[in-house]
Structure 1
Amino acid sequence: MTQLKDISSLHWQTALGGDGIVENIDDIHQAIAIILRTPQGADPLRPEFGSKLREYIDYPINRARPHVVRESVEAIARWEPRVSVERVSFELGEPGQAMIKVFWRLPDGFTDQTAVSL
């Protein structure tokens, strides 16, 4: 179990699906995934938290893509102020799987991408 004295970053959270914590860039990746995978209204203490991506689950891909991109950008801009979204791509993977790739930038110029499967 991680002790508070072992945490070296200002930005951290408990790791999903395991013991320990995530810090720094891993914290941002996990935060973006949580935002996009959480349906808006699912958190009773923060009913506005999350995204509206589930509304477009049965849309044809060509009609869903612009909505998914818009909703992803808006949700991340609202709930993850440490990053600015530069681009979002939305692709189909295996049957029943969709992948959102969020390309983002930190204020210091560092860029990275987070892939979230839905």
Structure 2
Amino acid sequence: MTTLPASAHWQPALGGDGFVEGIDDIRQAIAIILRTPVGSDPLRPDFGSRVWQYLDWPIDRARPHVVRETVEAIRRWEPRVKVTRVVVALDAEAALKITAYFRLASSGPEISAEVRPK
């Protein structure tokens, strides 16, 4: 028997079975927003972010652009949160890692979502 989500906000889990809800739903939504290039969704051509444009730039030059694009995309497409800060770094394999810190729009503690654009 399949269990139903207890929350009004949920979506199918990417890369797995079942669904995500609550904070995990928001984290997954942010990852989808940041990994989707603007113009790649034919039914929503404005959906996504322009983070991908800076993936091959030197990190010091890319950082301010990635922060700006991250904040703008999350503000536009995820109204349930307010972005407080964004940290852009390289991981152990020298791949870009974006950590967006946010608070729920209704209030609460600061939460983070880590995204590695592909």
The two structures have a TM-score, normalised by structure 1, of 0.92
RMSD after superposition: 1.3
Tell me the equivalent position of 1:112: 111
Instruction: For structure 2, list consecutive stretches of 5 or more residues without a partner in the other structure.
Output: none
Deviation at 1:108, TM superposition (A): 2.3
Change (3 A) 1:105 1:59: same
- Matched position secondary structure for 1:46: coil
Deviation at 1:54, TM superposition (A): 1.1
- The letter of the residue matching 1:112 is I
- The letter of the residue matching 2:54 is Y
Tell me the equivalent position of 2:16: 18
Separation in structure 1 between the aligned mates of residue 6 and residue 93 of structure 2, nearest angstrom = 41
Contact map agreement 1:85 1:105 (CA 8 A) in 2: yes
Separation in structure 1 between the aligned mates of residue 2 and residue 61 of structure 2, nearest angstrom = 45
Q: Deviation digits for residues 30-57 of structure 1, max 9, x if unmatched?
A: 0000000111111110011000011112
The two structures have a TM-score, normalised by structure 2, of 0.92
- The letter of the residue matching 1:57 is L
Contact map agreement 1:39 1:52 (CA 8 A) in 2: yes
Q: Deviation digits for residues 23-79 of structure 1, max 9, x if unmatched?
A: 011100000000001111111100110000111122111110000000000000000
Alignment of 1:15-54 (within 5 A): 15-54=13-52
Instruction: For structure 1, list consecutive stretches of 5 or more residues without a partner in the other structure.
Output: none
- Matched position secondary structure for 1:85: strand
Tell me the equivalent position of 1:85: 83
Where relative contact order (Cα < 8 A, 6+ residues apart) is larger, the structure is 2
Deviation at 1:96, TM superposition (A): 4.6
Aligned sequence identity (%): 59
